[in-house]
Amino acid sequence: MDAPSLSTSSLSPSLSVDKLFDVRDKNVLITGGGTGIGRMIAQGFVDNGARVFIASRKEATQAAAEIVRASSRPPSRVFCRGLTADLSKGESEQMNLLSAVARETAGKLHVLVNNAGTNWAEPVESYPIKAFEKVVALNLLAAFSLTRLALPLLEATATLGNPARVINIGSIDGARVTLIDHFAYSSSKAALHQLSKVLAGKLGHRHITVNTLAPGPFASKMMKVTLARAQEEIEAGTALGRIGSPEDMAGAALFLASRAGAYVTGAVLVVDGGILVKPRL
């Protein structure tokens, strides 16, 4: 069932939280949705009544089942399906993923979350070119390719008052220089931020918004080793004095995907607890 569309000319718009942040019955595809930030976002959509598909390079069925069990909603009103797809393998794998989603949604996708990503850290002198290419291929090229291929599914749901949404998961490391030698990661995320802005300008007339979430430190698989080694120092480096929680990440994604965020496009929403703005010497 299509999510309700709200007229931009309504004389008595509903400004209740239930209406503004309603994502019930929206079809949502989240790449890399089985772990970390992707899973936080997936749980947020599932708990608020969306039909969620999580795609992962590894078997995603178990992760989907765990998300269903963790939901606060009755089991009969929860939908989360795990799909296996290695997006780094190119368009054939991406098309297979979208075909699987289309079969279960009558070809209609309301929200695409490009979250799948990888990292590689090594000193510049020994940084492998193949590793650089691998990181850029998944973090940047796959996001562009999947978005392009998903356009027919997104346009099938898009309206003036309730556009389809693309949410790209960037990083604050795409907006700063850190001590970590992850040259490809930070470069690919900076490029993804810019790509989102360019796509937003090109797709707006097709009633599709494109925005970026730029997370700071969250308890994800990618951050596990770093947090185990230096969580206190990382927390001290934020203006708010803590790392991010699932509520922080899910809330930001729900805003961009709901009526509340329908007039936002081309934005980079930083969710970092104030790392980028904390005064430093």
Measure Cα distances from 232 to 2, 130, 180, 243 in Å: 45, 34, 17, 9
Any idea what DSSP says for residue 244?
B
**What stretches of the chain show up as alpha helix (H) in DSSP?**
17-20, 36-47, 61-70, 91-105, 129-136, 142-155, 183-203, 224-236, 246-257
Among candidate residues 53, 79, 185, 218, the one labeled active-site is 185
**What stretches of 121-217 show up as alpha helix (H) in DSSP?**
129-136, 142-155, 183-203
263 catalytic? Reply is no
What CA–CA distance (Å, rounded) separates 134 from 141?
A: 10
Q: Shortest CA distance to 107 belongs to which of 162, 62, 164?
A: 164
The angle, 0 to 180 degrees and rounded to 10, between the axes of the packed helices 183-203 and 142-155 is: 30
Classified as helix, coil or strand, 192 is helix
Residues known to be catalytic: 185
